[in-house]
Chain A
Amino acid sequence: MLALIPALPLAAVAVNLILGDRLGRRGTAFLACGAVFASFVLAALSVIHLASLPPGARTMVADVYTWMRVGDFKVDVAFLLDPLSSVMVLVVTGVGFLIHLYSVGYMAHDASFRRFFLYLNLFMFAMLTLVLAKNFLVMFVGWEGVGLCSYLLIGFWMDRPSAARAGMKAFVVNRIGDFGFLLGMLTLFAWTGSLDYERVFAAAPIVFHPGTLAITFATLALLLGATGKSAQIPLYTWLPDAMEGPTPVSALIHAATMVTAGVYMVARCHILFTMAPFSLETVAVIGAATALFAATIGVAQNDIKRVLAYSTVSQLGYMFFACGVGAFGAGIFHLMTHAFFKALLFLGAGSVIHALSGEQDMRKMGGLASRLPWTHGVMLVACVAIAGIPPFAGFFSKDEILSAAFASGHYGVWVAGLLGAVLTAFYMFRLYFLTFRGSSRLTHEAEHHLHESPAVMVAPLVVLAALSVVGGFVGLPFQEGGRRLTTLEGGAALERWLAPVFGEGGAAGASHAVPHLSFTTEWALIAVSVAAAAFGIAMASRAYAKAAGEPIAEKAPRLYGLLEHKYWIDELYDTIAVRPIRALGDVLWRFWDEKIVDGTVNGVAYVVEWASAVLRVFQTGFVGTYALFLTLGVAALIAHYLVR
């Protein structure tokens, strides 16, 4: 049954390919959404079954067949459902289904409707393979598979050169990460003799000494893979460009699911990371730096989707540093709530863009609150949720991360996270005010076509909004000693659910437990983070509620320019990597191949030609003749030896 969860979307891909345009639009939509919904139902049933098992025995395995067996190397195509993958599979199929549904409306007028759902279903297959894999190699199938779908979907509107370029950039940058993933796998196999999670994690403590070069190398290599997929420093540059894809794609792939794969992978390998303190510190530092860095850029973007893209990079940074400080459970918790509110933000933005006939520049929006009431309502919910105002979902998960950073003594990381939280609230409400409040700056054309989205698009928004409100309750983390401070049903349900994977305490691996905080500190931290969010909102309100221009640009033009141009990092990469490599290729080809090697070869030929001028009698100009002489010579040689 487990194997069916990824197989169903794949089957839909096959049917889509075979039937082709005979399916019609309705058929295509029904097939694509139906397959994903069926996967969701199967996943839910599986998780319910999983929950019925005793906590220590919560794993379900499906071994399909042996993929490769060479000598002592053996890898099966096999799937695993445990508490960790169950969270992922529910988020992926659940949010995935809502986004499929939304896409039916969003893409209704697109000429390549069928191709869109083909790719989308293929993506679901790859993503579900990734999260349900039982070993690293099958995970890698999903890992590169989602990268492929991302490439295809970013470049979906392929006649736009910018979309094509963005797709390629995404794939290539991800390949750099995949190189890391590959090296990580090779190291793990060389040491543990397996790629199966269970065996690797069981063998790791025996074959690796904590903190040695081997385990540090393996985890850093895996981390490189994770930074590629999850758009962290230094490999984050592809994600903002990925916004060239249709908006539902941005919501599904570049916000809710695929980009979280790196976090999932790090969490999955928590045993390995906790054995390599240096790597774990690196995860924390990269995460915190990215969270803050991307948030600053998000402040100065005018494209509504680019703001959300940098926000995604930043929020993924939070998930990373959660893992880095040992709070893997908190990272997964934030992954889940983020999937809800960020998918909602993107889909809401898509609804705005749809309403404005494709306009994405917030400077040409404004005052849409009354015109798009549903969209406005859900967007407000999402903004509050991401800003971290209680009791919305983002508050619980972000606060848990910040407390864990503080509790584990990562004060620098904590400060970065807090500053990031201020900026998050600021840029989200900047987006909100520029889009929905103030006076309308719409073009006449856009004004004319303005309309609220159809029900098929609004319904998923409402469901996601509801999840953004209540989604945080599964992780109510406040506790002191054993006493729960909340009577809300479930308590720290998520933490307990994940405990079999991450060890007791939920938030940390056994060897890297996050110490619990005192009651007062806990509440003080909550107060600080809520205050930070409120401060950010207030600032945004002051600056943009009735904005006519861009206050930051007016007061600090240089800073604004730096942020707007994203610290010139793309240009930097282009100068230090892309151009030199291309130039190297040119030199190798034009100089080495054509001058040196061919020059030598032709030089030899000229010498021979000159020599043969002396022996003009034998030169007939036919290669056949040369061959004949050659053969004769050889024959003579043979004869000579034989006779002797």
Chain B
Amino acid sequence: MNDFPWLSWLIFFPLISAALIAVLPGTSGRTVKTLAAVCSIAEFLFSLPLWWRYQPGQPGWQFAEQHAWLPGLGATYHVGIDGIATLLVLLTTLLTPIVVFGAFGSVEKREREFYALLLAMEAAMIGTFLSLDLLLFYVFWEAMLVPMYLLIGVWGGPRRVYAAVKFFLYTMAGSVLMLVAILWLYLHQRAVTGIPTFALDAFYALPLSGAEQTWLFLAFAFAFAIKVPMFPFHTWLPDAHVEAPTAGSVILAAVLLKMGTFGYVRFAMPIFPAASAAFTPWIVALALIGILYGALVAMVQRDLKKLVAYSSVSHLGFCMLGLYALNAQGMAGGMMTMLNHGVSTGALFLLVGVIYERRHTREIAEFGGLWKVMPVYASIFLVVMLSSIGLPGTNGFVGEFLVLLGAFRHEPWWAIVAGLGVILSAVYMLWMFMRVFFGPLTHAANEKLADLTLRERLVFAPLLILIFWMGVYPQPLLDRAQPTLDRTVALVKQRLMMGDRITRGDVARPGVSVAEAAR
């Protein structure tokens, strides 16, 4: 079994499933659902060996596979995992079946296409996490766009087309720049070494001048910042979330946004360490603004989904802050925050979806006193909310605290500013919770709302388990990620020590240097 191409299987199994669902003739909605559920659970089971057999202590990529792809270009099909990718892939494979089950009650039209797209989406996301070749990475990165664009544009709300186009163009704007940067890197690499390759490892070792780093970093950082999303590139997010169907929102929040932060750790920071270090104040400033800004704007939202969407901006700000603290605790906190946000915000979007299915509105003012009619729903909402605001004992706290610890060690005032976000998160969440669940039942339409069905409870059960497990015993997760994070930190610091520094003069003549390199 050791030679079994696990990773390829993980990428292509959902793709095959999607194709199967799409082409199987004459199947009923029921069969489609069953098939989607079975395939997504199978995929999760297939991904489990990553948890058991990944060896954190060993350096280098594990489960690696490499095959020729475009020999003329030097691009190869090269996939492998490290600690970060392991956890993010598991997050993806775990959430997909949850999303599939969650969608059973809400998707009524074009079910076949819907589930096929979800699974195709899963394949693209996993591929993105696993790629060790920049061209391959870019193919998967762009491939993710299409299913999500369709999920929003076809199954979304009233302004779905606007939201879908906005999402598409925003992301596209970023990724085109990144593509240019990738190509530039490729050509530069070929010019320097004479070997055409898109291999990530080669780029890790590629020396770049200060100016080169600066411009290339900016191109990557821009693409990732849109995806994260960092303030002020976040305005596509609320629209996309509000219009997306529940399944789309969950995938978008839980996994797609992580592509941005993942991109920083995997590419932007280690390939351009000097530029990354030089821009740290800017990135941290944006992260801190994002933390407070997201929270403040979330506070005044009237739509539940928009509130959760803006809370994402705040949480991802924490994530970026942790990563850019560039020390063990900060990185680990950033990593935990990625996972936590996937679990908690994913769960929040599912919860909002539950109430939307019943009432066809997400206006906070339309609710009030729901605890009385839906006590189980309210209790689950409470737990998820607490995890989102980082109550100790839940997953949220572990990430938040480690981020603050890392940030404080790097620069105390970072943690002080970010800490204010901890207060604000309680404000916006509890205020929303109060208006939705407490008080008297003020709307007649809410009096007969049904509490969660068995299916819905089963959807939330794994998420609740994760919330507590990751909060009470996060060590297995930390152990898996830590060596990789440490290596990233070491790589960046090592290159910085080797004189990889940016001076003002470097950046002042970018045109010259880029032109030189192109020659």
Contacts and interface: CB of A to CB of B under 8 A. Distances in A.
Interface of A: 65-73, 137, 140-141, 143-145, 148, 151, 155, 158-161, 163-165, 167-168, 171-172, 175-176, 178-179, 182-183, 186-187, 189-190, 581-582, 584-586, 588-589, 593, 597-598, 601, 605, 623, 627, 630, 634, 637-638, 641-642
Interface string B476-507: 00100010001000000000000000000000
A159 B437 CA distance: 9
Nearest to A138: B392
Given A158-B439, A179-B420, A68 B187 contact: no
A9 to B, nearest CB: 14
Contacts of A597: 232, 235
Contacts of B293: 588
Contact of B404 (A68, A182, A627): A182
B327 A71 contact: yes
Determine which residue in B73, B328, B423 has the highest number of CB atoms from chain A within 10 A of its CB, and name it: B423
B96 to A, nearest CB: 25
Given A72-B328, A189-B405, A634-B179, A182 B419 contact: yes
23 contacts: A67-B473, A68-B475, A70-B328, A70-B329, A71-B327, A71-B486, A73-B329, A141-B393, A144-B392, A144-B397, A145-B391, A158-B439, A159-B438, A161-B440, A168-B434, A183-B416, A585-B299, A593-B238, A597-B232, A597-B235, A630-B176, A637-B183, A641-B187
Contacts of B164: 623
Contacts of B51: none
Contacts of B430: 151, 168, 171-172
Contacts of A189: 405, 408
Interface in B304-356: 327-329, 332
Contacts of B371: 158
Contact of B475 (A67, A179, A638): A67
A425 B158 CA distance: 66
Given A70-B482, A183-B416, A582 B300 contact: yes
Contact of A623 (B165, B170, B187, B398): B165
B301 interface: yes
Given A65-B473, A140-B392, A165-B434, A159 B440 contact: yes
Contacts of B426: 171-172, 175
Given A178-B422, A623-B165, A172 B392 contact: no
Interface residues of B, number: 67
A597 B170 CA distance: 12
Q: Rank and list the top 4 A-B pairs by shortest CB-CB distance, nearest first.
A: A71-B328, A164-B438, A585-B300, A585-B296
Given A164-B434, A638-B183, A159 B372 contact: yes
B303 to A, nearest CB: 11
A73 B172 contact: no
A168 B419 contact: no
Given A164-B439, A179-B422, A589 B297 contact: yes
Contacts of A175: 422-423, 426-427
Contacts of B183: 637-638, 641
Nearest to A633: B176
Given A168-B430, A588-B293, A186 B405 contact: yes
Contacts of A605: 169
Given A182-B404, A584-B296, A623-B165, A161 B415 contact: no
Interface of B: 73, 149, 164-166, 168-170, 172, 176, 179-180, 183, 187, 232, 235, 238, 293, 296-301, 327-329, 332, 369, 371-372, 386, 391-393, 397-398, 401-402, 404-405, 408-409, 412, 415-416, 419-420, 422-423, 426-427, 430-431, 434, 437-441, 472-475, 478, 482, 486
Contacts of A186: 404-405, 408, 412, 415
Contacts of B187: 641
B385 to A, nearest CB: 11
Contacts of A176: 423
Nearest to B335: A70
A73 B328 contact: yes
Contacts of B440: 159, 161
A73 B405 contact: yes
A135 to B, nearest CB: 12
A172 B423 contact: yes
Given A68-B398, A159-B369, A581-B296, 7 more contacts: A67-B475, A141-B392, A605-B169, A623-B164, A627-B168, A637-B183, A638-B183
Contacts of A67: 472-475
Contacts of B392: 137, 140-141, 143-145
A391 B98 CA distance: 65
A623 B441 CA distance: 45
A593 B73 CA distance: 43
